[in-house]
Amino acid sequence: MRPMAGSNSRCSSSVALPRLALCLLTLLAAAPHRAAAQWALSADVTASRFSGGSSEEPGGRSFRPYRPTLAGLGVEKCGRSLGIALHGYYASASLALEGADAVVAVKSALDLYGASMEVSGRLATLGMGSRLMLYAGPLVEVWRLAGETSRVRGGFAGAIGLQVPIGNRWSVIMRGGAAVSGSPFAAEDLDVGFVPRPLWRREVSGRLRYRL
């Protein structure tokens, strides 16, 4: 990849993130109140696999984040069947050049800072108080490239999860899902012959949730 510089990108991301966080927190607090509504805190770990990001024309090798582990924290306002949550997450990722036969990766070349606004709905109630849940909502991510340039990208994520209670207040949620966002690269970040592509990821996560 080319050397990357971008003070303007860093400035725009530092301004956009506080505004976005304030907006999401306002929406979270303004969620419809019901007598049964409760607050909860959560922490999660997510294993991700990426595709897209960039590709060589015509077809061939691609630059993309390589198998990072995301760590996140969240706050949720939940009712009996619906909930709304704000989650933040971070990952340090390798940057991989992947072809048909081999992968070359540079460790810790990318930093990912993300926030998602997530609506959850109960699909089914299972035995022992377990619930099958659907999660969906928008996200915004800041990719910091090579410690220099920051790119802000928006996207959408969805997942299905199994929520299993542990005692009165604790529960464990196992989730599987996918997300799509804009490429973490701009055209000037890439070598000649590569073009930015939407970034897709598949992910499996474990979440520990505490009801206040």
> Over the stretch 56-95, which tens digit does the pLDDT of each residue have?
776 678 889 999 999 999 999 988 889 999 999 999 999 9
Q: pTM for the complete prediction?
A: 0.81
The residues, ordered by sequence, that sit 6+ positions from 75 with a Cβ below 8 Å of its Cβ are 28, 39, 40, 41, 42, 85, 86
**pLDDT of res. 4:** 46
Percent of the chain residues past pLDDT 70, beyond the cut = 82
Name which of 155, 163, 96, 98 is nearest 129 in CA terms. Answer: 163
Name residue 65's beta-bridge partners: 95
In whole angstroms, give the CA distance from residue 123 to residue 72: 24
Name residue 91's beta-bridge partners: 112
- In the chain, the domains with their CATH numbers are 7-211 (2.40.160.20)
| Residue 77 · residue 114 · CB < 8 Å | no
In whole angstroms, give the CA distance from residue 164 to residue 89: 22
**pLDDT of res. 175:** 98
For residues 127 and 26, which has the higher predicted lDDT (pLDDT)?
Answer: 127
What is the full DSSP assignment across 48-107? EEEEEEEEESSS--EEEEES-EEEEEEEEEE-SSEEEEEEEEEEEEEEEEE-SS-EEEEE
